[in-house]
C-alpha cells in the first residue's frame, strides 16, 4: 500500500513494510498566477488566501461571517488583502442575505479594492507568493500538504471527512488554529488571525514542516520504483496464463516485504512462547532460591535450638 503522507504531518506509528509512505505527492509543475492575481498580490503585501476546496461547501451564513471578519481585519490593518476562491460556493445566495454591514454586491462584483474573488485559483502559486501570509482552508489533505510545503500558517474550518483529523494534527504541530463550522464568530476569527500573524511560533513551526514536506516530496519517485519492482517480480514469479497475463500468489510476490511474524502465527509471531519459557524459568529459579533460603534458615534455626538445649542440659 502506497500512502500519500509523511511523518511530521502524520502521527508516528510502527508500520508494516507493506505500507510505504511516499507523500506528500505534489506535481512538478503548477499553473502560474493570472495577471490579475499577480497584480493583486504585488499590491497587497499582507494577503490572506481563502478557499474551502472543490468538494465541500458551508452555509451562506458562515460565508457572511467570514466576509465580515475580513472587512474587520482590513479595517484594523491586520491584513491588507484577501483572495477568495469561491469554487462551489453559491454566491447568489449571499446576495439574498440582509446584512447592511457587508457590501455584498461590491465584494461579489469584484469591486472591493482589497478583496479579489475568483472562481478557481492556482492555489500553489498563490501559497508560494511571498505576499501571501495566511491560508484559511477547510483542511483537505492536499491543501495541508501545499500549505506546509510553502510554510504558510493555517486557519482551518474543518467540515467533513479527514479534515477534522488534519486540523488536529496541524494544531499539534503548532502551525494552525481552528474554527467551528457550527459556531463561527467574527471576534474569534479576528483574534485567531492576529495570533497566527503575530506569534512567531506559528511561522517557525510552518518552516519546520516545510523542510520535512520538501524532503519527503522526493519519495514519489520511490513510489514509481516500488510499482516497477512488483511488476517485475510478477513477471518472474507469476504463472503465465493463456491471455498473456500472470496468475500471482501475493505471498510469493510480496515475500520480500512480508515480516516473518505474519507467517508464524500469533503465539510465535509475538514471541509469546519465548516470554512463556522465560517466565517459567524465572518462576522456577525464584521458587528454587526461596526454597533453598528457607532450608538454610531452617537448618540454622534447628542448630541454634539444639545448641540452646545442650547448654541448658549441661547447666542442670
Domain check: are 290 and 211 in the same one? Answer: no
pLDDT, tens digit (0-9, with 9 covering 90-100), for 229-251:
887 777 666 666 666 666 666 66
Max CA separation in the chain (angstroms):
124
Domain check: are 43 and 174 in the same one? Answer: yes
Domain check: are 213 and 103 in the same one? Answer: yes
Neighbours of 145 (CB within 10 A): 24
Bridge partners of 137?
156
Which residue bears the cell 481563502?
A: 50
Domain check: are 211 and 300 in the same one? Answer: no
Asked if the structure places residue 257 within a domain, the reply is no
Average pLDDT over residues 159-170: 93
Asked if the structure places residue 227 within a domain, the reply is no
Among the candidates 184, 217, 250, a domain finishes at 217
**Three cell numbers written together for 193:** 488571525
User: Taking all residues of the chain, what is their mean pLDDT, rounded to a whole number?
Assistant: 87
Domain check: are 278 and 148 in the same one? Answer: no
Among the candidates 177, 198, 217, a domain finishes at 217
Domain check: are 31 and 140 in the same one? Answer: yes
pLDDT, tens digit (0-9, with 9 covering 90-100), for 51-92:
987 777 888 889 999 999 999 999 999 999 999 998 777 777
Domain check: are 184 and 67 in the same one? Answer: yes
pTM of the full structure = 0.77
Asked if the structure places residue 131 within a domain, the reply is yes
Report CA-CA distances (Å) from 262 to 63, 255, 265, 266: 51, 11, 6, 8
Q: Can you give the residue range of the structural domain that contains 59?
A: 2-217
Q: What does the pLDDT read at residue 125?
A: 96
CA angle 54, 59, 65 (to 5 degrees): 110
Does the pLDDT at position 201 exceed 70? yes
pLDDT, tens digit (0-9, with 9 covering 90-100), for 174-193:
999 999 999 999 999 999 99
Domain check: are 288 and 169 in the same one? Answer: no
Asked if the structure places residue 9 within a domain, the reply is yes
Among the candidates 217, 249, 283, a domain finishes at 217
Residues 20 and 32: their CA atoms lie apart, in Å, by 32
CATH of the domain at 127: 3.40.50.2000
**What total number of domains does the chain contain?**
2
Domain check: are 57 and 173 in the same one? Answer: yes
Of 19-23, 131-135, 203-207, give the lowest mean pLDDT range: 19-23
pLDDT, tens digit (0-9, with 9 covering 90-100), for 5-63:
888 888 877 787 778 888 898 988 999 999 999 999 999 999 999 998 777 788 888 99
Q: What does the pLDDT read at residue 190?
A: 97
Q: What does the pLDDT read at residue 232?
A: 78
Q: What does the pLDDT read at residue 146?
A: 96
pLDDT, tens digit (0-9, with 9 covering 90-100), for 87-108:
777 777 776 665 657 788 888 8
Amino acid at each position: 500500500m502506497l500512502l500519500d503522507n509523511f511523518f511530521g504531518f502524520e502521527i508516528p506509528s510502527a508500520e508494516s513494510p507493506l505500507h510505504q509512505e511516499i507523500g506528500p505527492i505534489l506535481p512538478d509543475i503548477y499553473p502560474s498566477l493570472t495577471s490579475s492575481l499577480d497584480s493583486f498580490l504585488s499590491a497587497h503585501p499582507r494577503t490572506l488566501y481563502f478557499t474551502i476546496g472543490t468538494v465541500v461547501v458551508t452555509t451562506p451564513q458562515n460565508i457572511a461571517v467570514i466576509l465580515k471578519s475580513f472587512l474587520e481585519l482590513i479595517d484594523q490593518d491586520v491584513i491588507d488583502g484577501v483572495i477568495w476562491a469561491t469554487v462551489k460556493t453559491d454566491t447568489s445566495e449571499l446576495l439574498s442575505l440582509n446584512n447592511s454591514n457587508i457590501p455584498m454586491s461590491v465584494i461579489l462584483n469584484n469591486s472591493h479594492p482589497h478583496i479579489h474573488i475568483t472562481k478557481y485559483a492556482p492555489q500553489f502559486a498563490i501559497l508560494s507568493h511571498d505576499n501571501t501570509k495566511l491560508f484559511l482552508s477547510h483542511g483537505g489533505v492536499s491543501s495541508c500538504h501545499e500549505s506546509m510545503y510553502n510554510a504558510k500558517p493555517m486557519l482551518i474550518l474543518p467540515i467533513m471527512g479527514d479534515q477534522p483529523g488534519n486540523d488536529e494534527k496541524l494544531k499539534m504541530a503548532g502551525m494552525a488554529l481552528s474554527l467551528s463550522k457550527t459556531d463561527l464568530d467574527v471576534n474569534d476569527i479576528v483574534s485567531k488571525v492576529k495570533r497566527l500573524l503575530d506569534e512567531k511560533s506559528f511561522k517557525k513551526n510552518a518552516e519546520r514542516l516545510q523542510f520535512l514536506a520538501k524532503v519527503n516530496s522526493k519519495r514519489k519517485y520511490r513510489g514509481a520504483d516500488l510499482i516497477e519492482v512488483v511488476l517485475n517480480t510478477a513477471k518472474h514469479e507469476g504463472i503465465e496464463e493463456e491471455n498473456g497475463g500472470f496468475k500471482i500468489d501475493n505471498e510469493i510476490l510480496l515475500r520480500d516485504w512480508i515480516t516473518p511474524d505474519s507467517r508464524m502465527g500469533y503465539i510465535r509471531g509475538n514471541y509469546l512462547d519465548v516470554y512463556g519459557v522465560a517466565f517459567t524459568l524465572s518462576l522456577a529459579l525464584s521458587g528454587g532460591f526461596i526454597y533453598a533460603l528457607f532450608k538454610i534458615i531452617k537448618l540454622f534455626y534447628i542448630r541454634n535450638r539444639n545448641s540452646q538445649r545442650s547448654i541448658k542440659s549441661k547447666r542442670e
